[in-house]
């Protein structure tokens, strides 16, 4: 793989405009078959903002024992910069038993001294060796709990990871602007009884969990399903929606990749949501 990357770099240097290879992190993405297209789409909007070495892991346990690799360079023109900026994308199809030993495959490819983010598409297989191993070699686990079928139950599983690896939840990021709006209601919101949320189940659970944890009181959640967070009401009164369009999937992932440490407010909100 390293040789293929070297060849690509030489090729870029010999044929293209002046380029510069830049990485601010290694971005590992675990994408089961049903998430492959979505993962690629999100990546397309991300690389310009977070030049990184991206390692896409596609688990294919029913296929024969093998690793198939595809290596490519993605180059972008940057405003005000005379060089194109290039990032490396390594796609690994892990067949058969290789699915269960991803850390040993990924570790030689991580860029030393830069943070490694692990984006896990769908619900992680709690207790499975691939999750444990990758959590052991990465600095931050990024999930989107709205991709899970029963988030409330799984939050307890996720909470067990907090002492092992910093966790980001895109569902939590999606609610940031709404949390800002709710914070503006202080001190009137201090005695909140009932929170009504229209949007993904996970987003609603986390918003209610956050209020329970921060206000230190029980808050009843009334949830109406929706693809996006569109309405929040406090004791029956609608909250003024945040300005502007909702952030895209790439925006949300990009924002999570700006964080490095643990987020105690999120951890408390998640625990309160699971309770």
| Per-residue x/- track, 19-38, other proteins (CB under 8 A) | -x-x-x--------------
- Chain mean position to CA 253: 5
C-beta of 254: minimal distance to other proteins in Å?
8
Nearer to other proteins among residue 35 and residue 117 (C-beta): 117
Binding test (CB under 8 A) with other proteins, winner from 28, 35, 51, 133: 51
What is the C-alpha to C-alpha distance for residues 184 and 188, in angstroms, rounded to an integer? 9
Q: Is 253 in the site for other proteins (CB under 8 A)?
A: no
Nearer to other proteins among residue 86 and residue 131 (C-beta): 86
Binding test (CB under 8 A) with other proteins, winner from 134, 189, 202, 206: 189
Which distant-in-sequence residues (6+ apart) come within 8 Å of 18 by Cβ? Answer: 82, 83, 84
Q: Is 266 in the site for other proteins (CB under 8 A)?
A: yes
Eight-state DSSP code of residue 214: H
- DSSP β-ladder status, 140-143 and 53-60: unpaired
Measure the CA angle with vertex 217, ends 213 and 218; round to 5°: 100
C-beta of 141: minimal distance to other proteins in Å?
18
C-beta of 48: minimal distance to other proteins in Å?
5
What is the C-alpha to C-alpha distance for residues 214 and 212, in angstroms, rounded to an integer? 6
Q: Is 243 in the site for other proteins (CB under 8 A)?
A: yes
Neighbours of 250 (CB within 10 A): 18
In terms of Cβ atoms closer than 10 Å to its own Cβ (0-12, 13-18, 19+), residue 262 is middle
Binding test (CB under 8 A) with other proteins, winner from 1, 111, 156, 215: 215
What is the C-alpha to C-alpha distance for residues 131 and 128, in angstroms, rounded to an integer? 6
- Closest Cα partner for 39 from 51, 53, 24, 55? 55
* Candidate segments 6-14, 33-41, 79-87, 219-227, binder of other proteins by CB under 8 A: 79-87
Nearer to other proteins among residue 79 and residue 236 (C-beta): 79
What is the C-alpha to C-alpha distance for residues 244 and 261, in angstroms, rounded to an integer? 28
Binding test (CB under 8 A) with other proteins, winner from 187, 191, 227, 237: 187
Q: Site residues (CB under 8 A) for other proteins?
A: 20, 22, 24, 48-51, 76, 78-83, 85, 176, 179-180, 182-183, 186-187, 189, 211, 214-216, 243-244, 254, 263-266
């Amino acid at each position: 793989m390293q040789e293929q990357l070297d060849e690509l770099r030489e090729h870029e240097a010999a044929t293209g405009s002046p380029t510069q290879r830049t990485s601010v992190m290694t971005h590992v993405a675990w994408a089961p078959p049903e998430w492959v297209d979505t993962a690629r789409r999100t990546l397309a909007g991300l690389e310009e903002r977070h030049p990184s070495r991206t390692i896409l892991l596609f688990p294919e346990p029913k296929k024969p024992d093998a690793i198939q690799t595809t290596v490519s360079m993605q180059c972008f023109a940057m405003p005000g910069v005379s060089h194109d900026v290039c990032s490396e994308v390594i796609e690994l199809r892990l067949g058969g038993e290789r699915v269960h030993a991803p850390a040993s495959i990924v570790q030689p490819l991580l860029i030393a001294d830069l943070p490694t983010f692990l984006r896990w598409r769908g619900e992680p297989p709690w207790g499975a060796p691939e999750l444990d191993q990758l959590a052991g070699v990465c600095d931050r686990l990024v999930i989107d709990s709205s991709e899970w079928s029963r988030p409330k139950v799984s939050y307890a599983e996720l909470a067990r990871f907090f002492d092992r690896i910093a966790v980001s939840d895109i569902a939590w990021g999606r609610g940031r602007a709404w949390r800002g709006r709710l914070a503006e209601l202080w001190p009137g919101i201090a005695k909140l009884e009932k929170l009504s949320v229209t949007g993904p189940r996970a987003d609603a659970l986390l918003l209610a969990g956050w209020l329970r944890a921060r206000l230190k009181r029980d808050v009843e959640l009334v949830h109406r399903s929706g693809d996006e967070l569109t309405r929040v009401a406090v004791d029956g009164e609608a909250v003024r929606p945040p300005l502007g369009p909702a952030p895209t999937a790439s925006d949300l992932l990009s924002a999570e990749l700006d964080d490095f440490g643990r987020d105690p407010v999120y951890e408390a909100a998640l625990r309160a949501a699971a309770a």
